[in-house]
Amino acid sequence: MRTKHILLTAAAMCLLCAGTRAVDFTYTGALDPETGAPLSASEAAASSRVVLSDTMYYDSESRLYVYPVGGGPSEVYATVADGMIVTEPVRVSASEGLPLSVKRDGEELDDPTAQEIAQIGQYIVSARDGDTPQRLFTFRIVGTTTNLAGGYAMPEGFFILSAERDGGDTYFERAFIGMEDEGNYHIEYICPDTGRRYTLETTVDRTPPELTLEGRVDKKGRFHSAVRVGGLGEGDSVYMTRDGSSVRFPSDGVLTESGVYTLEAFDSAGNGSSCHFTILVYFDLNSLIFFALGCFSLVGVAGYVIYKRKRLRVG
């Protein structure tokens, strides 16, 4: 049974408790709505909570979701419900002394309670009460664009109110919307038990970068010139290795060093493309100029040596 946190004035208390029980007209704290009796601090805190599932509450005072750990008093608190997909940062905290584990895409975060969690990824939150870790809840952070697969299954107790794709109505079920089609999604949903409404707005993009390589290439696909990499968009991330070692991708997209290259590019939605290619030794204009200067230097040195030898002979 759920209870509500009710603060009554002295006059309201008089009406509720009139009859056989004395009334404390100076009390302004929380009362049990059925008996009118004052609630203790722990009872008052519990009265502000709405049970959403066997493993999750919502606290209307802190506006946090509460996850009990084991059978004791320890709890974990978060700004998201189990299974939520959000675009904004998430805060997670725990009862004092409770070991907390947060993994992003399988990798452990160093200190998940030190600051807001904002990186895009799939998160799993667990806590250790004794020797056994307990998985508590999951959530996902997406960006303004995402390649989110499948769709959005609502957290338990949540229901979709409306959904649009590219400004027009799109099909959804009561607690699920498929998001396979590309486009801009605007989803409004609600938790009736708490009255809280939420919005998810993101663009689904499943098209990876189309990388292009420009340069002088032979029949075996090897380049005998500098290579210009194209097909990258604003905000794309590029990772590159040359002969197995990581190297920085140049800002102008032009590669001039010889070697065997592996190049990976990811757009802001997380779609990725890769390519492998080889640049053989070649002479560009700068190399020719440098080579010519080197030859002139050698000639000058050789001439000087010959001159000095002749002078020595004359003497």
Helix (H, G, I), strand (E, B) or coil at 44: helix
CA atoms of 158 and 191, how far apart (whole Å) = 4
Q: Do residues 277 and 213 lie in contact, with contact meaning Cβ atoms separated by under 8 Å? A: yes
Q: Do residues 184 and 166 lie in contact, with contact meaning Cβ atoms separated by under 8 Å? A: yes
Number of Cβ within a 10 Å radius of residue 74: 19
Confidence of residue 73 (pLDDT cuts 50, 70, 90): confident
- pLDDT digit string (tens) for 174-190? 999 999 999 999 999 99
Q: Do residues 191 and 52 lie in contact, with contact meaning Cβ atoms separated by under 8 Å? A: yes
CA atoms of 266 and 146, how far apart (whole Å) = 12
Q: Is the pLDDT of residue 296 over 50?
A: yes
Residue 136's nearest CA partner among 65, 46, 73 is 65
The answer, as to whether pTM is greater than 0.85, is no
30 beta partners: 7
Q: Is the pLDDT of residue 272 over 50?
A: yes
Sole residue written with tokens 């404390």? 24
Q: Residue 292's Cα: distance from chain center in Å?
A: 53
Assigned fold of 212-279: Immunoglobulin-like (2.60.40)
Report residue 35 as tokens: 């008996």
Confidence of residue 247 (pLDDT cuts 50, 70, 90): very high
Sequence spans of domains, the chain: 1-47, 145-204, 212-279
CA atoms of 302 and 305, how far apart (whole Å) = 5
Residues 6 or more apart whose CB falls under 8 angstroms from that of 43 comprise: 30, 32
Confidence of residue 17 (pLDDT cuts 50, 70, 90): very low
Report residue 95 as tokens: 């009862």
Q: Do residues 127 and 69 lie in contact, with contact meaning Cβ atoms separated by under 8 Å? A: yes
Residues 6 or more apart whose CB falls under 8 angstroms from that of 104 comprise: 117, 119, 121, 122, 123
pLDDT at 229 (0 to 100): 97
CA atoms of 18 and 27, how far apart (whole Å) = 15
